[in-house]
Amino acid sequence: MDLNTARMNTLSIILAGGRGSRLKQLTDNRSKPAVPIAGKYKIIDFPLSNCINSGMRRIAVLTQYRSHTLNQHVQRGWNFLRSDFNEFIELWPAQQQTGSDWYRGTADAVFQNLSMIDGLDSEYILILAGDHVYKQDYSLMLKDHIESGADVTVACIEVPLKEADQFGIMHVDENDNIIAFEEKPSNPPTMPGNPDVSLASMGIYIFNTKFLSENLRSDASDDASSHDFGKDLIPFFVGRSKIKAHHFSQSVIANTSYPDTPYWRDVGTLTAYWEANMDLTRLTPELDLYDEDWPIRTTQYQRPAAKFNYNYEERIGTALNSVVSAGCIVSGSTVEQSILFNNVRVNSYSHVNKSVVLPRCDIGRHCRLTKVVIDSDCHIPEGTVIGEDAVADAARFYRNSDGITLVTQEMIEALSK
């Protein structure tokens, strides 16, 4: 089977039902894949764009937790495929199709949709997480999977040994056969010939469809299983099936103008989320969003260009080392090393520094905000100061141990009660 035919016979399944509780109040009203990122996108735009750019045009998005904004985003911005060419992006909500349980784990989420999967008659299944930020050509991973004759291929990335206890870690032989798999081990195995790094699972898998279907049914009947790919199925396959590791560097999108280190981020904590956004304010970010050969798509709305008002000595609308999205107005204020998402207004005499401001926020006059993440639709009262007094910040808002303060409209309204 040639690669083009293989891509047409691959079903991509994006697991997008998780809450992402480590992002605290950012996921109170939305699922983690629906969290805005990088000025104009949502996290799910990255795996969706990777699928489209890789030629994988049969995509199912599995949703569960508070999925309204995610559903709306996908329906409005990702409905351009041709059904007459057997292309689609479909939302598959949790429907308790196999019993009274909602999704009990990542493997169970796929198992509960086996009837729809079987009806699509695919040769291969690509399983993706909907909450990671990266660029990858999945067709190269599919090619590797087919040529190796594997039952399952696991995408992996090198991580420093000191961070390996945060991931599912693989031990491979010289031919990249996975010979051991441990979930968040206290004493992780290292890569052959490199004792300083371990090989971590990215939560990206390619299965032969028949193999996956049989094993999902077997796992579903195992009361001792937590029905999770990383915790249960992948370790079970080791030593029983042909399971291969695919190095992320073999299918990463290269760009000579940007750093050589493959970029992949789990933005599952407030600190990781803030850092990923802050990286985009650097002169040369690690993540290239300007690559016309591998565009990141999203839902597009008609908005005016960003606007900067006033040029008086004490009142200049300025943005320095920042990302300012469409619809923003910086009015007589200073924005420094920050990201303003769509339709944000920063009013006169305010200073926003090292902050992430989500869509439709209005920052009042004479505010000073440093190292803040402001949720969508917040109205920051005039004279508000955040980021200069840790005790005061923690008393009013959510402040983590890395000194990042998260602000929501509910928190602001609570101050006046």
Residues annotated within the binding site for alpha-D-glucose 1-phosphate are 103, 168, 183-184, 201
Q: How far is the C-alpha of 316 from the C-alpha of 163, rounded, in Å?
A: 44
User: Is the CB of residue 154 less than 8 Å from the CB of residue 233?
Assistant: no
Block residue for tokens 């010939």: 193
Block residue for tokens 């094993």: 215
In DSSP notation, 317-359 reads: -EEES-EE-TT-EEES-EEES-EE-TT-EE-TT-EEES-EE-T
Following CA atoms 286, 159, 152, 145 in sequence, which dihedral angle do they give, to the nearest 10 degrees?
50
Phi/psi at 45 (5° precision) = -60, -25
Query: Per the structure block, which two tokens stand in for 211?
Result: 């193999």
- Most distant CA pair in the chain, distance: 72
User: Is the CB of residue 96 less than 8 Å from the CB of residue 102?
Assistant: yes
Q: Evaluate the CA torsion angle 40, 44, 45, 47 in order and state its sign.
A: positive
Run of H or E including 203:
strand 197-208
Q: Coil, strand, or helix at residue 275?
A: helix
Distances (CA, A) of 416 to 350, 367, 396, 397: 22, 17, 11, 13
Count CB neighbours of 301 within 10 A. Answer: 12
In DSSP notation, 71-87 reads: HHHHHHHS--S-GGGT-
User: Is the CB of residue 330 less than 8 Å from the CB of residue 365?
Assistant: no
